Amino acid sequence: MASEKLKVGIDARLDNPRQGIGTAIIGLAKGFGSLPASEDEYWFIMHSDNTEWLRPYMGQNCRIFEVPRAPGTRPFGKRTLRQRLWKRITSLTTRSASGFEVAPSSVEEFGFDVIHFTTQLGFVTTVPTIYQPWDLQHLHLPKLFSRREWERREREYRFFCEQACLVCVQTEWGKRDLCDQYGLPESKVVVVPGASVLQAYTPPTQSEIDATLRKHGIPSEFFFYPAVTWPHKNHSVLLRALAKLKEEHDYRAHLVLTGDLTTFSKVLRREARQYGISDQVSFLGFVSAAEIQCFYRRARALVFPSKFEGWGFPIFEAFQSGLPVICSNASVLPEVTAGAASLLPSEDAAGFAHAMIRVHTDVVMRAELVRKGFDRVQSLSWERTADIMQKHYASLAHGHSGMGDTVPLHDVLPERVVSAI
């Protein structure tokens, strides 16, 4: 039986915290710090050489639990062949009979009551776990994945879903999808929505906004899309929309793109040249959270044509910033926008072009989208998210499979998971 004081482990071992899951972990840390005073402790399990990105957002009830990185590896960037070989050799000593990583001994011995895997990765452990796979994009868009990556995801997702006492998703759409695809009982899958990470940041001043636009050479009017240049983010449809606006409406809209640039960005730059709109697109790559806020505060609208999402953090950041949202109607997006955005099929370049010119010229439409977006984001906060998670942590720590369902603690882990350790 767990003590009244909970010790919760939150897996935050991210190589690249600049993407969406890093945003979620920052929000959680901020949310736990905002909860009413309690003796519960939230320990963020992190690689010892990559902790500084989270420290500014941690409250007094949050701690960092440092674990070593595998020898020969490093955060960010590409590894050399020697480093990759060394990692493979050394990892053999830290893997279970199932082939999955086992919990570091320091984690297993620390006395955590529950561990929350915030990413699609995890490790084999006897501690009760909550697993958060975010989405099953590989099953819906398999052509975007190599066979090896597709098979890796299937093995890991299914194993950690089975190991977990609870599986956490952000939407009802995601819950239905997970239950349908993996045959999980509905009682095992819980919905915990996120919020806007801008709640954790200090708003920019007008002078900071102006300086950021000057720094990057951004015109006074532009549309904004913050997303890593992965194919499923569907930047191409926006390039086609810009071309249509230029050719059919004589409107030279400018598009600001932020987010890490993958190798696919070369394809996007080539398309922009082919459409004759290179001078209308700013590929800025990764920019700081402070600069991101500046773009939200000045853009005409957020354009979000993604083909698949598990949540969509930029949408809520736009809502909070008073920015109209034009986005696709793919996967969870109708649910998360809840009528507060202009929705279009993800491949409808003409539709995106029409919505962009309308949001540029129609003051009434803009105001209505801003109002609805603000109302939507007010219903969500990281404190609320943290409060819901805390209740699930407490339930598992006291031998429940969910809030209200008591199970014997020895039945928490499937037999094949126990035998794999």
List pLDDT tens digits, range 72-84.
556 655 455 444 4
| Per-residue confidence (pLDDT) for residue 97, from 0 to 100 | 53
Q: Which two tokens stand for residue 331?
A: 């996967």
Instruction: Please give the single-letter amino acid code of residue 86.
Output: W
Indicate whether 412 pLDDT > 70: no
The two tokens of residue 415 are: 């037999």
pLDDT of the residue at 83? 46
Q: Residue 226, exposed/middle/buried by CB under 10 A (0-12, 13-18, 19+)?
A: buried
Residue 161: the pLDDT is 97
Query: Can you give the pLDDT at residue 315?
Result: 98
pLDDT digits over 225-270, tens only? 999 999 999 999 999 999 999 999 999 999 999 999 999 999 999 9
Over range 5-32, report the average pLDDT: 92
pLDDT of residue 95: 60
pLDDT at 89 > cutoff 50: no
Say what the pTM is: 0.88
For 320-375, the DSSP string reads HTT--EEEE--TTHHHHHTTSSEEE-TT-HHHHHHHHHHHHH-HHHHHHHHHHHHH
CATH class for the domain made up of 198-378: alpha beta
pLDDT per residue as tens digits for the range 104-151? 889 999 999 999 999 999 999 999 999 999 999 999 999 999 999 999
What is the model's pLDDT at position 99? 76
Tell me what the pLDDT averaged over the chain comes to: 89
pLDDT at 406 > cutoff 50: no
User: pLDDT tens, 290-345?
Assistant: 999 999 999 999 999 999 999 999 999 999 999 999 999 999 999 999 999 999 99
Domain formed by 7-195+381-420, architecture: 3-Layer(aba) Sandwich (3.40)
CB 20 within 8 A of CB 53: no
pLDDT at 229: 97
Span(s) in the chain for CATH 3.40.50.2000: 7-195+381-420, 198-378
Selected residue with higher pLDDT from 226 and 70: 226
Which pLDDT tens digit goes with each residue over 195-207?
A: 999 988 999 999 9
Q: Nearest Cα to 324, choosing from 404, 224, 408?
A: 224
Q: How far is CA 158 from CA 230, 278, 407, in A?
A: 24, 43, 22
Average pLDDT over residues 141-163: 96
